[in-house]
Amino acid sequence: MRKRALQLFVNCLLVSAILWSMPSRSAIPFSSGRAAQNVLLAQNAQVQAALAWFKPHLNWINDEQARLTEIPAPPFAETKRAEAVKVLLSAFGLDVHLDQAGNVIGELRGANEREIILVTAHLDTVFPADTEIKVRRDKDKMYAPGISDNGTGLASLVAIARAVHEARLKPQRTILFVADVGEEGEGNLRGMRALVDSYREKLKAVIVLDGSGTDHVTTKALASRRLEAIVTGPGGHSWSDFGIPNPISALVRGSVRFLNTRVPANPRTTFNLGQIEGGTSVNSIPFEAHLKVDVRSESEDELLRLENALRECMAAGVRDEMESSRDRSKGKLEWKVEILGSRPGGELASNSPLLGSLRAADEFTGNTSRPERASTDANIPLSIGIDAIAIGAGGNGGGAHSLQEWYEPSGREVGLQRALLTVLGVSGVAVEKGK
């Protein structure tokens, strides 16, 4: 073990000036600002054992990643995968239960049970239920939809829980290891919303393990809205009813108008027409058309502006279609724009203990990472002022949300150690009397 580096890590935590309530006499927080405790922790055999656990167990971690990835977890159907994670966490001495939302929660009781650190990895994938998921291994890579996002996060969550268990490490604050539901798309972060609702008062920090890599840390939550425009009409036969208003035509007219909406480069703002549906056959005038739009911005004002623009454009598209229809006797078009999901923005303070802990962990592992803005589970705690970050859990990955997704585990122990140290930096470690 690199004792000097660990000492450095602890020193860095000192610099981040973490305010702790005084622990009970038998418990020593990892990040308290006291030199004596510092020395104790630098020599803490359990911390060293937990850090050293990963490397000789990489095969087990990789195999669990493959196994969990092959259990389908499409949006709103994460139960089977949740059960598998529950079995694993239970085997590592945690008190495990599923909450109402479907989150798997494994509790590692701290010396101080009144304060909680949340470590999470999302269970769900973007892939529909009928997607074939079989992990293919080729040389040093694994290929499968969801193998990195979030196979890496889940395997790492489980590995960290096991490393802590094997090292018989007791944290100062309670740590909850959570595999949560509903992170992707229309899941709308419902798992994290439920967690924050349940633990709000006690929650001191949230560390989200999402995907691979160690090159970034998400400290800013990207605000987004997912909107659906729906146009309905009477519908009819393409020949005999020609001239009645057509919902697809109206939707297309509105969409073209929306595409001409200008968005600023700064604050960075984007929109995407992601899904379009409607109609029943080529020779029918449809009675319904749907368009799903994703809008994102560094500014909430811009989001609102884009949402309003979509409404105005749809209203205008419907008006254009009605005006150009020659037969309005069978009925008119109706339209609405619904909000499918809304992710609030937020930002981690640059002097937060959590960021200090991450920086110290980076230093310890010899890693460098850049702060980033993204849309993740961390949006929810950040939006209400609870410290949160999202990080990759190590190794390399690519092709997220595609069928060609891949993961390369080499060097993943760096990501695991970095994540573990970040967690311990904010949870603290309880040290037995006399040690």
Q: Which is nearer to Zn ion, 173 or 418 (CB)?
A: 418
For the segment 177-216, give every residue that binds Zn ion (CB under 5 A). Answer: 210
Q: Which is nearer to Zn ion, 210 or 228 (CB)?
A: 210
* Shortest CB 211 distance to Zn ion, Å: 5
Q: Which is nearer to Zn ion, 64 or 149 (CB)?
A: 149
For the segment 85-114, give every residue that binds Zn ion (CB under 5 A). Answer: none
Q: Which is nearer to Zn ion, 111 or 393 (CB)?
A: 393
By CB neighbour count within 10 A (0-12 exposed, 13-18 middle, 19+ buried), where does 328 fall? middle
* Shortest CB 282 distance to Zn ion, Å: 38
Binding characters for Zn ion, 330-349, by CB under 5 A (x = yes): --------------------
Q: Are 161 and 177 in contact (CB under 8 A)?
A: yes
By CB neighbour count within 10 A (0-12 exposed, 13-18 middle, 19+ buried), where does 346 fall? buried
* Shortest CB 345 distance to Zn ion, Å: 18
What's the angle, vertex CA 38, arms to CA 33 and CA 40, rounded to 5?
Answer: 140
Q: Which is nearer to Zn ion, 210 or 302 (CB)?
A: 210
Q: How far is CA 377 from CA 90, 94, 118, 199, 223, in A?
A: 24, 23, 12, 15, 12
Closest CA to 291 of 224, 231, 225, 232: 231
For the segment 110-149, give every residue that binds Zn ion (CB under 5 A). Answer: 149
Amino acid at 223: A
Q: Which is nearer to Zn ion, 32 or 376 (CB)?
A: 376
Q: Which is nearer to Zn ion, 210 or 362 (CB)?
A: 210
Q: Which is nearer to Zn ion, 115 or 405 (CB)?
A: 405
Q: How many CA atoms lie within 13 A of 130 on its CB side?
A: 0
* Shortest CB 388 distance to Zn ion, Å: 15
* Shortest CB 122 distance to Zn ion, Å: 6
Total binding residues toward Zn ion, as defined by CB under 5 A: 3
Residue 422 interacting with Zn ion (CB under 5 A): no
By CB neighbour count within 10 A (0-12 exposed, 13-18 middle, 19+ buried), where does 379 fall? buried
* Shortest CB 405 distance to Zn ion, Å: 11
* Shortest CB 150 distance to Zn ion, Å: 5
Contact segment (CB under 5 A) with Zn ion among 99-107, 150-158, 311-319, 337-345 equals: 150-158
| One of 37, 38, 150, 427 touching Zn ion (CB under 5 A) | 150
For the segment 65-84, give every residue that binds Zn ion (CB under 5 A). Answer: none
* Shortest CB 324 distance to Zn ion, Å: 44
Could you list the residues that contact Zn ion (CB under 5 A)?
149-150, 210
